[in-house]
Amino acid sequence: MNQQRMETLDADPSIITVQQHILAEQRKHSPGASGAFSWLLSGITLATKMTQAQVRRAGLLDVTGAAGQINVQGEAQQKLDIFADQALIHCLGFRQNVAVIASEENEQAIMFDGRSGQGKYVVVFDPLDGSSNIDVNVSVGTTFSILAMPEDLPADADPAAAVLQPGIKQLAAGYVVYGSSTILVYTTGHGVHGFTLDPSVGAYVLSHENIRMPEAGKYYSSNDGYWDSYPQVYCDFISDLRRGAYGRPYPQRYIGSLVADFHRTLLTGGIFLYPPTESNPQGKLRLLYEANPVAFIAEQAGGVASDGTRRIMEIEPEQIHQRTPFIVGGKTEMAAFDQAMAKQ
């Protein structure tokens, strides 16, 4: 048997790609589904593969550093922010069933021409999460959330009206972490599943089926550089975590890319906190395309996500880029957090 054949036989032919998985999920949970959803998801996965190809060679391409523009967040846009944003807009533009998109990088929501109406989808996304980490080769990511177009929306309505829906309306959500490997994690409300990009086949391959967040975890994750501006109740709670008041001392881990900090929390448990601070009294993270997709995944994996007092996914959004305090973690840590908040 020649060498080539042996290599082929060594490769495991029984891989399950994310496309196969989403189609199987649809058959299982929505018999007769048209496959429109998996076609939409393939637009997102294609865009993330384009982005990861840039991330992987960032130092060799002219994609690091600032692009010289300030985005709607008031932040210096990185070249990779723009590339990732354009890749998603381009790929979703070819999905006829996507009517409206909203991106962290664009002030307004975008309605694709002539696509309002029933059976259409809305996609909101943060094309490149963790931008400050790009130039120093630390994990970054993409987050996305998929909603249904509201049925009663007039064709000439402001596309923002289609986007401003609470997290409980999400049909699906996910993120990609461009880390030591590139992992896509998604949920359609039937559990959480992870896929690792296999460069040898160019596909996201099922690697983490039915991810469950540990009830009690190891680390707490917050940027303690803002300690002096955190509300006191957060300082007290974090001090209690550190000194072992909840079982044993919790060491701190903080990467500064939400997707990476959350992905670790999802797999190893614990708690991530981005409280209100002096510079961001409403919190820094954006409700629609950072907190909501992560909260959907956390809840589907058995975790909890709040803004300190409310379930994140029940917050009625008023603006596309509105920010929120964001605390997400395993049942044990989030119960302790809720108790600490109730006592204040």
Which stretches of the chain bind Mn ion, using CB under 5 A? 104, 126, 128-129
CB 258 → Mn ion: shortest distance, Å?
6
Q: Footprint of ligand AHG on residues 278-337 (CB under 6 A)?
A: 284
Q: Footprint of ligand AHG on residues 140-199 (CB under 6 A)?
A: none
| Residue of 25, 85, 126, 333 that binds ligand AHG (CB under 6 A) | 126
238 contacts ligand AHG (rule: CB under 6 A): no
Q: At what angle do helices 232-242 and 331-343 cross, to 10 degrees?
A: 140
Exposure of 37 in the CB half-sphere (CA atoms within 13 A): 26
Closer CB to ligand AHG, 22 or 285, in the complex: 285
CB 229 → ligand AHG: shortest distance, Å?
11
Region from 7-15, 22-30, 128-136, 209-217 binding ligand AHG, contact rule CB under 6 A: 128-136
Region from 48-56, 110-118, 186-194, 256-264 binding ligand AHG, contact rule CB under 6 A: 256-264
Q: Give phi and psi for 43, each to the nearest 5.
A: -70, -40
Contact status, residue 337 vs residue 325, Cβ threshold 8 Å:
no
CB 176 → ligand AHG: shortest distance, Å?
13
Region from 46-54, 62-70, 125-133, 201-209 binding ligand AHG, contact rule CB under 6 A: 125-133
| Residue of 51, 188, 257, 332 that binds ligand AHG (CB under 6 A) | 257
Token pair for 272: 């991530």
270 contacts ligand AHG (rule: CB under 6 A): no
Ordered DSSP codes for 247-276: SS---B---S-HHHHHHHHHHH-EEEEE--
Helix (H, G, I), strand (E, B) or coil at 308: coil
Region from 112-120, 123-131, 174-182, 200-208 binding ligand AHG, contact rule CB under 6 A: 123-131
What's the DSSP call for residue 149? P
Ordered DSSP codes for 124-140: EEEEEETGGGGGGT--E
**Residue number closest to Mn ion, CB atom:** 129
CB 241 → ligand AHG: shortest distance, Å?
18
Region from 5-13, 88-96, 253-261, 307-315 binding ligand AHG, contact rule CB under 6 A: 253-261
CB 255 → ligand AHG: shortest distance, Å?
8
Residue 324: which of Mn ion, ligand AHG, none does it interact with, CB under 5 to 8 A by kind? none
How many helices and strands (H and E) does the chain possess?
A: 9, 16
Beta-carbon contacts of residue 85 (< 8 Å; ≥ 6 apart): 103, 104, 105, 106, 127, 128
SS (H, E, C) 186-227: EECCCCEEEEEEECCCCEEEEEECCCCCCCCCCEEECCHHHH
CB 206 → ligand AHG: shortest distance, Å?
26
Token pair for 337: 């957090």
| Residue of 19, 223, 252, 322 that binds ligand AHG (CB under 6 A) | 223
- Which amino acid is it at 58? A
Helix (H, G, I), strand (E, B) or coil at 326: strand
| Residue of 51, 131, 187, 188 that binds ligand AHG (CB under 6 A) | 131
Interatomic CA distance for residues 329 and 141, integer angstroms: 19
CB 124 → ligand AHG: shortest distance, Å?
13
Point out which residues bind ligand AHG (CB under 6 A): 75, 104, 126, 129-132, 223, 256-258, 261, 284
